Each structure stands twice: as structure tokens, then as C-alpha cells.
Amino acid sequence: MNPLARLQDDFQAFMLRSDTAIESHVIGTHRVPIATRLAIYGDGYASRLIEALEANYPALAKLLGPADFPTLGTAYVRAHDSQFRSVRYYGAQLAEFLASQPEYLRAPVLAELARWEWAMTEAFDAADATPINTGTLTHVAAEQWADLRFEFHPSLRRLGLFWNVPQTWKALTDDSGRPEQMVQATRVQWLIWRQDLQTFFRSLQTPEAEALDIARDGATFGELCTALAQHCTEDETPARAAGFLRRWVDSGLITGAK
């Protein structure tokens, strides 16, 4: 390995893992020893990543406060290297990190809030796509409906949450009164998506959540109706499926039907 490559590798190892091999490349003085010189870079690097976490999880940062969030950020930075050129994508594993660390297990709402914020970020950053309108479906022949499959907007995200995280997130984001944190006996299903430059979300009842999930997995309209038959009578099923479909189209969730 050439000297420059070795220097770069040793410096990266120091920044990411506090490896001391880089010390052989650094000249220290009595006034500014080697450890002090390196700390300027090492501490600054960690600080920038913690700032990136705060930018990517602003509601979580507000909930934890200026004393506790840096503690979380420091622990996460030590456990997770930055894998991307842009810090915009740093912190993807924060929810899993919160759910696995003993000191945060007593507050599971934190992991759910992190999941929510990351899903909102993914929805906003997702690729653009042109939704269809209801006129597109009017041209589908009656005999084709049973085999019709749908394509969904890339921004669509689905979450199941026990805590009232969306309400907490909105209150923190709006700087309004923080709602009391509440937990449900079963998960509440949520939908997140983007239209143009605005991100939307709403809760889903079980029938619609299941229908949406299987449609996204490639089920036909006929298969969707079969699944919905578990929640309503045979006579009600087609109208209910059509109602869900109309709502998805009106919300800009569907980008293709074939």
C-alpha cells in the first residue's frame, strides 16, 4: 500500500474506531501534544454526526431535550459509522438502536418516534411519480377488473404503532402543547405518503390496511376482494374494495393499473 493510502486508512480508522495507528503520522509539541491535535478532528467528526442526527430526528431531539439527546447521539455514533456521502441519510438504524439498548427499553415510545420520523424523511425524499386519476379506471373493461394489479407511489410508507406517536410528533413539530403519551393494546396502522412537496399521513382501519398491503405486494383486484370478504359480507365486498380504491386514487397513491 502506498504511503498516502496508508495515511488515509489510518486516519479513517482513528475517526471511526479510535485506532491509534495514526499517531505515528502526527507530530506533537509540548504545547499541543499528539492526542490534542487528533482530538480536534475526532471530536469534531462525532459532533457533526450528532448534529446530523438532530436534523434528521428533530422531534425526538425535542422530546429528549438538550441534555439527553447528545448522550443518545454519542452512543449511536460509537456504534454506527457513517456509510453515505451525505449525512442526510445518517441515522437509519436509530429506531433499532433505541429498541435494543437497555437504558432506552423503558421508554419504547422513543423507538417508535424514531421509526416515524425516518419514515417521514423517506417519504419526502422518495422518487417522484405521476398518480393516475379516476378517469384511467373508467376505461378498464369489466372482464379485466378481476386480474387488475396496481402500482403505488414510491413515497408510500406503512407503520404499525402502539403509541400516539403521530400526535406527539405533530405537537413537537408545531411547538404546541405536548399531548400525554398514550399506548394502545394493539398497534394502530398508519399510512404516510407525499403529494408534490407535501407529506401526508392518516390512520387505517384493519380492513383497509390489509387491503393496501396485499395490493402493494402485487395482489389482483379479485384477490383483494377475496381478502376483504373476511371483514364484510359477500354483497358488501365489491363496494368496499371499490371505495378503498377510489380513496387511494384520490390521495395520489396509485401510479399505474394494468
Gap between the Cα atoms of 182 and 167, Å rounded: 10
DSSP code string of 4-25:
HHHHHHHHHHHHHH--SGGGGG
Cα 21 from Cα 99, distance rounded (Å): 34
Range 129-258 classified under CATH 2.40.50.140:
no
Confidence of residue 190 (pLDDT cuts 50, 70, 90): very high
pLDDT digits (tens, 9 = 90+) for 38-96: 555 555 677 889 999 999 999 999 999 999 999 999 999 888 877 766 778 899 999 99
- Distance, CA of 229 to CA of 232 (rounded, Å): 5
* pLDDT at res. 11: 61
Residue with cell 407503520: 159
pTM summary value: 0.84
* Residue ranges matching CATH 3.90.930.50 in the chain: 129-258
Residue 197 grid cell: 412537496
